[in-house]
Amino acid sequence: MRVWGTVLLLLCLPKLIAAQPNRFFFRKLTVANGLNDGGILAIAQDSRGFMWFSTKAGLNRFDGESVKTYSFVPGDPGSLPTSLSRCMSVDSSGGFLVGVEDGMLEYSVIADRFVPVKALADTWVTHIFPFDKHTVYLGTRNGLVKYNPLTKAAFFYNKVKDTTWPKTIYQLERKGGFLYVAGGTGLFRLNMATDQLQKIPLPVPATARVVATAIDHNSRFWITTRNPNLLLRFSADFKTFENYSRYIESENSTLVNFSAMIADRSGRIWISTHLDGLMLYNEQTNAFEHFLHDPLQNWTPSTNLHSALYCDREGRIWVGGNNGINYFNPDKTLFHIIPAFDHDRDKRNRRVARVAAEDHDGHLWFGTLDGLVRYDPRSGNYKEWNNRKGRPDMLHYNSIRGIVCDDAGDIWIATGHGINKYNQKTGNMIFYKTKDSIPEVFYFSADKDRQGNIWFASRDEDGFYYYAPEEQKFRSIRSVPGLNVFTGEGGRKLFQDSKGRYWLGFNGSGLGMYDPAAGKHYWWKASAAPGSIAGNSVVDIKEDKKGQVWISTFTGLSAIDPVTLQVTNYNQANGLANNSTGPLAIDNQNRVWIGTAGGLILLDSSRRYFTSFGLQQGLPSVDFPEHAAATLSNGEILMPTQNGFIRFAAAAFKKENKSLAPFFTTLGISGSKQEQLLTSFIHLKHDENFFTIGFAAVNYDNPEDTWYAYRLEGIDDDWKYTRNRFADYTKIPGGNYTFRLKASTDRAYWNIPEQVLHIRIDTPFYKTSWFRPFLLLLVAAAVVAFYRYRMRQKEKLLELQGKAQLLEKEKAMVMYESLKQQLNPHFLFNSLTSLSGLIDTDRKMANGFLEQMSRIYRYILKNRDSELVTLREELAFVQTYIQLQKTRFKEGLHIAIAVDEEYGSRKIVPVTLQNLTENVIKHNIIDPDVPLCISFSTANGYLLVKNNLQKKHMVETSNKQGLASLQVLYAYLTDKPILIEETREEFRIYIPLIES
């Protein structure tokens, strides 16, 4: 039976949806917004204004913008228990109580934790009703309980009273000095002064369980029962009643089709059901209205299965279901949504609204993507005209972009392929064609000027055409003096202001204006030049109360003063939600309403502050198309959106000078992870002076438009105003500070209470009061230490000077030893002997030999006073020396030079290579059969001289000091040491090459 009941409900659902009113906009809060899960069990509001939702996984706290969740954490005694919570309430002292299936919890704001109430352990709490500072009545599965939140004591009535007291209690309600108790055995009335209990006789079966009760604005009692399922309304004295059970009945008699019932602040009765959505009792019709889910209409509830109801302190209704929360304020519904069609709304071209107009009888005419619609606001009836295959055409084209009602009451329709007129008296639709002097082309708009002429703007041909009622003829703009200069420009909109000036919006060519009184015309285009407008494709044109003309375009909004011709542009940089602007309207307070591709924007009369409206504020879509808005005869505004029309009384929206209750949320220190801020005092270390303070305010109506003012005294010279929820501070000096915070719904209203956060930042030790005397003592000690240090340094300097003198002497000795090596008599004797032999055998070679000897001694004499020579010069010299030695030793001596050219400019001590070569020859055997091989190469800043080892057994004239002296000399010239390596086969010397 349950399945068949559900099937029947689904079959009837389209009719229910089609009949439901669009009076309220249901805002949504789901797991996508941060809820633990979507199964709502209970709803409550605490003393600070937070909304709490109990779900299967735990609790959720909502501030209008973000959700904080609580759940069971193994091993954490301060977390929630695993049992479900089906009731919550603020107590009379401001605390917050949570009833669970095995007790009750008290929420600690400071600790942000839940503390079990010992007196209620193992008691299933079903309802919490605060009475006064000392008393909270509790409905439980163990009967009625009186709890004192100050002493934490609990009094169980069933333990001391007679058995007539109900054991299971579902709900408590108060009227006057009586507490009405809805229980498993009926409805009871408790005299709270005497604790006397009286059962109220009801005309219901003995098996009926009274599970909910509410008292309406006429003091009538509403009750719902289970087993059987009944909904009854009783008079204040319970003598008469009326049965409304048909509204909660289901196809299956055992299926419960209601979940909760409340009376709101105005005494209206609301009932949530498991199958039929949310219901509101209508006093005029004596019937319940259903508010049902429609997946194509985002303003309807998100589900038809509801489980919890709550009315907060400001009159909002909160409805919990199987997929989260729906909430709305029945007394503050600004936008009324009118679908473009009453059926087949699942087709996108039947959801998109374009343009609207009102006729003399109060009917609303809609232009859409799928034809023309006449809507009667009184009856809610729709009538439509559109073209369908296989039927005669009812319009030139289904796509309609312009509608206007003329002085005779006829409706003019501008379509994507021509102009129609509907004669309301005859009911005939007239098709105008090219023969009527109006081309069958694409039209963007239809407008009426102050003379009653009907203008049509087209992107094609002459651009603008008008119908003159007196002549009953169509004419082109080219026939109008002054306006004819704009002939041929693609048109989108025409507007005549209060002074008779014509404003023409073009389709890509900007804006034109013709002033008949002055006989002047003007043209504005979008460019980088001063005085240009925001865009070249104009959508709508309106005049405000001060004569300023407003132009919406694809790329921004412009305001033009017709007298001074001064242009003011608005875009995302200075307040718009989106640069693509469309419908415009001016209300009686001279405020500008702007439909954009990112929501509806209100610019206040001071032209300083913007207010944004989006889906959460009741819009069916945030995307407004590129079409004009209409102002109705009663002053209401009608605007198209991508999902139907919105109709609203702009005067009903008053920017509330409402102070909000701000609170601190987080503290982030030096870029670290933000921690929850639960106290009014924070103590920071001196290196924690980079911090971010997070804050928020409870605002359920328009959280995106919450303004904050904050100031850190001693740092901020004045208050800072922002919509941002964080304040950043860097490099704050040590000291005591006070951070002040206010929140408001109005940027200009700040005469409101504030929240205070005290901050102490430690001062670094070097900035403390005791540090200066200590520093003076330290400086004095440093001066004494420095004096002693200088004395020691002076002594060391004298010592070093003595050593320097010794070093200079040693250097001289080394240089002298080097000179002695250069003038080695053995070399001279051997050279002369070789020369003598050559004179006898080869005079030509002898001459060459003598010339080479001369070069050697010339080089020695030239550089005897030079400390360094280039490697290039030294190599040239040593090659001469090698030639002399090869003349002497012939094939017994092999020399190889492989020096990189890049090292040629490096420096070396003069005659170093000659000495090293001479040293190799002196200590090694030279024989043609076993030649002595010497090589010169460079690597890593060194000159490498190596030879194969074939040592002599005895070396004459060797004092063993040659290489040692060379090492001392180079140590004097460079930090790089001479390296000497000897193996069994080779002897290597690395001479450091000194950079210039």
Residue 752 Cα distances to 215, 680, 704, 745, 772, angstroms: 36, 19, 20, 11, 45
- What string of H, E and C letters represents the secondary structure of 750-794? CCCCCEEEEEEECCCHHHCCCHHHHHHHHHHHHHHHHHHHHHHHH
Interval 235-249: pLDDT, tens: 999 999 999 999 988
Measuring CA to CA, which residue among 82, 26, 30, 23 is closest to residue 53?
30
Query: What value does the CA radius of gyration of the chain take, rounded to a whole number of Å?
Result: 50
- pLDDT of the residue at 812: 47
- pLDDT of the residue at 820: 44
Measured between alpha carbons, how far apart are the two ends of the chain, in Å? 106
Interval 947-964: pLDDT, tens: 999 988 776 555 556 777
Asked whether the predicted pLDDT for residue 13 surpasses 60, the reply is no
Instruction: Grade residue 7 by pLDDT with cuts at 50, 70 and 90.
Output: very low
Task: Say how far apart CA 205 and CA 209 lie, in whole Å.
Answer: 9
Asked whether the predicted pLDDT for residue 769 surpasses 90, the reply is no
Contact by Cβ (8 Å): 560, 605 = no
Q: What is the pairing mode between strands 755-761 and 681-684?
A: parallel
- pLDDT of the residue at 808: 61
Contact by Cβ (8 Å): 111, 168 = no
If one compares 715 and 849, the residue with the highest pLDDT of the two is: 715
In this predicted structure, which of 506-520, 745-759, 780-794, 905-919 has the lowest mean pLDDT? 780-794
Across the strands, what pairs with 338? 645
- pLDDT of the residue at 629: 97
- pLDDT of the residue at 805: 62
Task: Say how far apart CA 306 and CA 326 lie, in whole Å.
Answer: 10
DSSP state of 978: P
CA 761 to chain centre: 30
- pLDDT of the residue at 782: 84
- The top-scoring range by mean pLDDT among 83-97, 274-288, 803-817 is 274-288
DSSP state of 201: P
- pLDDT of the residue at 609: 87
Asked whether the predicted pLDDT for residue 724 surpasses 80, the reply is yes
Q: Give the list of residues 6+ apart from residue 224 with CB closer than 8 angstroms, or none.
A: 210, 211, 212, 213, 230, 231, 232, 248, 258, 261, 271
Interval 564-596: pLDDT, tens: 999 999 999 888 989 999 999 999 999 999 999
Instruction: Grade residue 919 by pLDDT with cuts at 50, 70 and 90.
Output: confident
Interval 544-562: pLDDT, tens: 999 999 999 999 999 999 9
Neighbours of 537 (CB within 10 A): 19
Task: Say how far apart CA 836 and CA 735 lie, in whole Å.
Answer: 100
Neighbours of 912 (CB within 10 A): 24
- pLDDT of the residue at 816: 43
If one compares 847 and 349, the residue with the highest pLDDT of the two is: 349
DSSP state of 994: B
Instruction: Grade residue 915 by pLDDT with cuts at 50, 70 and 90.
Output: confident
Q: What is the pairing mode between strands 51-55 and 58-62?
A: antiparallel
- The top-scoring range by mean pLDDT among 419-423, 692-696, 915-919 is 419-423
Neighbours of 633 (CB within 10 A): 9
Please state the rounded mean pLDDT for residues 433-440.
95
Asked whether the predicted pLDDT for residue 360 surpasses 50, the reply is yes
Q: What is the dihedral of CA 722, 728, 734, 735, to 10 degrees?
A: 30
- pLDDT of the residue at 109: 85
Q: Residues 268, 273, 277, 283: is their CA dihedral positive or negative?
A: negative
Task: Say how far apart CA 901 and CA 906 lie, in whole Å.
Answer: 10
Contact by Cβ (8 Å): 331, 266 = yes
Neighbours of 236 (CB within 10 A): 13
Helix (H, G, I), strand (E, B) or coil at 408: coil
- pLDDT of the residue at 791: 83
Measuring CA to CA, which residue among 637, 628, 540 is closest to residue 355?
628
Q: What percent of the chain has pLDDT over 70?
A: 90
Please state the rounded mean pLDDT for residues 803-811.
62
Q: Give the list of residues 6+ apart from residue 926 with CB closer than 8 angstroms, or none.
A: 889, 892, 893, 932
Task: Say how far apart CA 676 and CA 693 lie, in whole Å.
Answer: 10
Interval 133-189: pLDDT, tens: 889 999 999 999 999 999 999 999 988 766 678 889 999 999 999 999 999 899 999
Task: Say how far apart CA 504 and CA 483 lie, in whole Å.
Answer: 9
Task: Say how far apart CA 380 and CA 338 lie, in whole Å.
Answer: 9
Peptide bond between residue 339 and the one before it cis (omega within 30 degrees of 0):
no
- pLDDT of the residue at 14: 39
Interval 631-661: pLDDT, tens: 999 999 999 999 999 999 999 888 776 778 8
Measuring CA to CA, which residue among 281, 317, 337 is closest to residue 22?
337
Instruction: Grade residue 969 by pLDDT with cuts at 50, 70 and 90.
Output: confident
Q: What is the pairing mode between strands 893-898 and 932-939?
A: parallel
Instruction: Grade residue 354 by pLDDT with cuts at 50, 70 and 90.
Output: very high
- What string of H, E and C letters represents the secondary structure of 224-269? EEECCCEEEEECCCCCCEEECHHHCCCCCCCCCCCCEEEECCCCCE
- pLDDT of the residue at 729: 94
- The H or E element spanning position 872 is helix 871-889
- The H or E element spanning position 963 is helix 962-973
- pLDDT of the residue at 818: 55
Task: Say how far apart CA 536 and CA 681 lie, in whole Å.
Answer: 56
Q: Residues 479, 483, 488, 490: is their CA dihedral positive or negative?
A: negative
Query: Mean pLDDT of all residues in the chain?
Result: 88
Interval 833-886: pLDDT, tens: 665 655 666 666 666 677 777 777 777 777 766 778 898 888 888 888 888 888
Interval 59-68: pLDDT, tens: 999 998 889 9
Interior/surface letters 847-885, b for 16+ CB within 10 angstroms, e for the rest: eebeebbeebeebbeebeeeebbbbebbbebbebbbbbb
Instruction: Grade residue 781 by pLDDT with cuts at 50, 70 and 90.
Output: confident
Could you give the angle at the alpha carbon of 970 between the alpha carbons of 968 and 971, nearest 5°? Answer: 60
Question: Which residue has tokens 């950079």?
Answer: 995
Instruction: Grade residue 826 by pLDDT with cuts at 50, 70 and 90.
Output: low
- pLDDT of the residue at 15: 38
Please state the rounded mean pLDDT for residues 59-86.
91
- pLDDT of the residue at 305: 94
> HSE-up of 533 (CA within 13 Å, CB side)?
29
**Single-letter amino acid code for the residue at 855:** R
Asked whether the predicted pLDDT for residue 829 surpasses 60, the reply is no
